[in-house]
Amino acid sequence: MRHKNLKEYTYLLIAVTSIFYIFGSLKDGALRKSPSDIKNKSSLPQTAVVTRAIDGDTIVIDTGYRVRYIGINTPETKHPKRAVEFFGKEASEYNKKLVTGKKVRLEYDVQKSDRYGRLLAYVYVGDTFVNAELVKEGYAQIYTMPPNVKHAELFLRLERNA
């Protein structure tokens, strides 16, 4: 009898975990896209509407992709193993103000995605270069990862002035 209850409990736990996983994946309106979805530059979105700013340097666009800004890093607010870092909430709020609900233009560099399945892009709202704006206003630091170095010198100049 005890074995039967344990087996039923295990199945129930698997079912509940699966439901939470599915709903978590659907939270942004679509299943999160993976790097295998990113075949070549021509299939990547060039423009999109931002549905949500996750934090200071990551957004979700209407195609379901998560987009990580290239060349910058903001203090953590959503890291599963770290506390909210100093100035993280302010950076996140500023990013939300810049992009949420707005049409953005995405510009890619050498690498199109990271190991987490996020697109890597330079993001523009109209004439505002969002990655650069965050550095210029002191909300982000440069975080250049070769081979994605197209705007590294600009970011360095802006960081020195900030």
Q: Which of 115, 118, 153, 159 is catalytic?
A: 118
133 is catalytic: no
- Token digits for 102? 């707005």
Q: Which of 68, 105, 107, 137 is catalytic?
A: 68
Smallest Cα–Cα separation from 106: which of 70, 148, 142, 152?
Answer: 70
68 is catalytic: yes
157 is catalytic: no
Q: What angle do CA 93, 95, 96 make, to 5 degrees?
A: 65
The 3-state secondary structure of 98-137, one letter per residue: HHCCCEEEEECCCCCECCCCCEEEEEEECCEEHHHHHHHC
Q: Which of 76, 93, 105, 153 is catalytic?
A: 76
Active site residues: 68, 76, 118
